[in-house]
Structure 1
Amino acid sequence: MGLFGAILGLPLAPVRVVIRLGELIQEQVEHELRDPAAVRRRLEAIEEARRTGQITEEEEAQAVEEVLRLMSGTRGG
C-alpha cells in the first residue's frame, strides 16, 4: 500500500502542509502569550502608558486584566 497510498495521498499533501503550518503558528502564539518575559514587557508597557497619561486608570486595569486572562488561557466574555 506504500506506493499506492502515496499516489492517492499526493493531492492531499498541500492540505496537510497548511494544517501543520496552522498548528505550528498556534503553538508559537500560545507560547508567546504565556512567556513570562513577554508578559512582563506588556505589563511594563501598560504601566508606562498610564504613567505618561496615555491611558486612564480604568483602561490600565482593563489592559492588565486582559494580559493576565490571555496568560492564564481563560476565555473572557
Structure 2
Amino acid sequence: MGLIGEVLMLPFAPVRGSLWAMQQVVAEAERQYYDPAAVRAELARLEQRLEAGEIDDAEFDRLEDELLDRLEVAMTRGTGTGNNGTTR
C-alpha cells in the first residue's frame, strides 16, 4: 500500500490494532489448547477422576475421545511444546 493509501487508512489504525491484538489472543489460546503436554496432563487427570469414581466409564470414554482428537490435531499441526520439540 502506498503513502496515499496509508494516509487514507490512518483513521482506521485503532481498528487494525485491535484486530491484530485479537488475532494474537486467539493464536495464543489455540496454542495452549492444542499443546500436547497440556492434553496429556488432562488425560492423566481424567484417568485419576475415573479411578476416584468421580466419573463413570461412559463419561471417561467420551472425554478421552475429545482429548485424543485434540492431541491428534496438535501432533498434525506441530503446535505446542510436546515431545516433538517444536514451538510456534
What count of residue pairs does the alignment treat as equivalent? 72
- TM (norm. structure 1) is 0.75
Structural mapping, 1:1-77, within 5 Å:
2=3, 4-73=4-73
- Cα distance, 1:25 vs structure 2: 1.6
Q: 2 CA distance for matches of 1:47 and 1:54?
A: 10
Whether contact under 8 Å (1:43, 1:67) holds in the other structure is: yes
- TM (norm. structure 2) is 0.67
Q: 1 CA distance for matches of 2:12 and 2:46?
A: 45
Q: Percent sequence identity over matched residues?
A: 31
Q: 2 CA distance for matches of 1:7 and 1:25?
A: 28
Q: SS of 1:55's equivalent? A: coil
Greater mean alpha carbon deviation, residues 37-46 or residues 10-19: 10-19
State the AA in 1 paired with 2:62: Q
Whether contact under 8 Å (2:39, 2:70) holds in the other structure is: no
Unaligned 5+ residue runs, structure 1?
A: none
- Over aligned residue pairs, what C-alpha RMSD do you find? 1.7
Deviation track 1:24-61 (CA, whole Å, cap 9, x = no partner) reads 12211221122121011110111111111111111011
Q: 2 CA distance for matches of 1:22 and 1:71?
A: 25
State the AA in 2 paired with 1:48: Q
